[in-house]
Structure 1
């Protein structure tokens, strides 16, 4: 797997490069600003990218803007956002476009190298990987019309765990219910959200995107 990193902190970017290289992941380029990141993605066509939200010159939200631009140029580009905070507006836009793998992790909450590398590989494979704190902040602003309103409290719990990237077995263990019960809850969620088996795309991902973008 080849990645491009957008990170202006030299110590952090060098550490990421050493870490990833040790895990057999090639770092094709490290960009220190948004234009450099977009150019590197265009040149190297990586399998995944790691992007810090805050990049020069203003150190506000240039990184996530750059990720959105890069995905417009290359639809489905896997992006793992690694940041110290949640930029709600643009994080929601990045997550809800429904194309390719997306991850959003908070630097201070990444406790194990193995978890970070696993998250990167899952994003590269097209999965959605979200820190629970990110989900919580994205769900603070509710839309007037709520497509999630028809879900029962238990179905909401199941969908929230799906949004964290948990599989059915893990959800069952977390909620102390059977795998079959989880399967039934997920079927009800799909039905209530209008996600029929003939819908294009993965219904699980579509349900999670609806949950994140509409709550």
Structure 2
């Protein structure tokens, strides 16, 4: 029997009160401590300073500007603490500031970037939270595709060989889902 994942101290930032309450309920039901649940980027930065969480979960678009304030706040926190685990949730793909999250020298803190519409299962979401807290990087395949498309002008993806880009594109097209399903002992639907 496998041991349950460790209890995490989490700061949650989501501007939609209903989604914020739902995420908080899911996380606490799984045994995690949600130290703070805030609705804007400034609140996220303040809560991080007040609670020193193991993990931050944030939306990309948040007040005060309603643009990428949550992602910028996450990048700022990652700059302060490269070992902080961060899960970014978004309704759309944004690669801005992603280099700051993915490029930090980290020994422990992972990064997750998930599209809200594709997080359809509580178990999958909680697995991602645990894996990111353990130092893994989990990026939605749609985000990987956007990174590959923009890699002609960006680093470090700009340095990939044609074959490396091809493999990355395969991961973005679902190979990661197949690997994930196999890790859960499930077969993909045909």
The TM-score bracket by the shorter chain reads: 0.7 to 0.9
- The one of 145, 156, 178 equivalent to 1:136 is 145
Question: Structure 1 residues 165 and 126, CA, compared in 2 at 3 Å: closer, same or farther?
Answer: farther
- The one of 44, 47, 65 equivalent to 1:40 is 47
Structure 2 residue aligned with 1:61: 68
RMSD between aligned alpha carbons?
A: 2.6
Question: Structure 1 residues 118 and 59, CA, compared in 2 at 3 Å: closer, same or farther?
Answer: same
Question: Structure 1 residue 58: deviation in Å?
Answer: 1.7
- TM-score norm. by structure 2 comes to 0.78
- Unaligned regions of 5+ residues in structure 1, if any? 174-215
Show structure 1 runs of 4+ deviating over 3 A.
143-146, 155-167
* Distance in structure 1 (CA, Å) of the matches to 2:70 and 2:154: 30
- TM-score norm. by structure 1 comes to 0.70
- The one of 1, 8, 11 equivalent to 1:4 is 11
CA contact (8 A) 1:81 1:105 kept: yes
Structure 2 residue aligned with 1:51: 58
- The one of 77, 81, 84 equivalent to 2:88 is 81
Question: Structure 1 residues 39 and 107, CA, compared in 2 at 3 Å: closer, same or farther?
Answer: same
* Distance in structure 1 (CA, Å) of the matches to 2:146 and 2:119: 17
Question: Structure 1 residues 165 and 40, CA, compared in 2 at 3 Å: closer, same or farther?
Answer: farther
* Distance in structure 2 (CA, Å) of the matches to 1:57 and 1:95: 24
Q: Give a deviation string over 1:16-58, Cα, whole Å, max 9, x none.
A: 1111111111101012111211111111111111010011122
CA contact (8 A) 1:80 1:102 kept: yes
Question: Structure 1 residues 165 and 7, CA, compared in 2 at 3 Å: closer, same or farther?
Answer: farther
CA contact (8 A) 1:32 1:56 kept: yes
Q: Give a deviation string over 1:116-147, Cα, whole Å, max 9, x none.
A: 11001110000000110110011112138943
Structure 2 residue aligned with 1:107: 116
CA contact (8 A) 2:102 2:111 kept: yes
Aligned residues: 168
Q: Secondary structure at the match of 1:139?
A: helix
- The one of 16, 19, 23 equivalent to 2:30 is 23
- Unaligned regions of 5+ residues in structure 2, if any? 1-7, 183-190
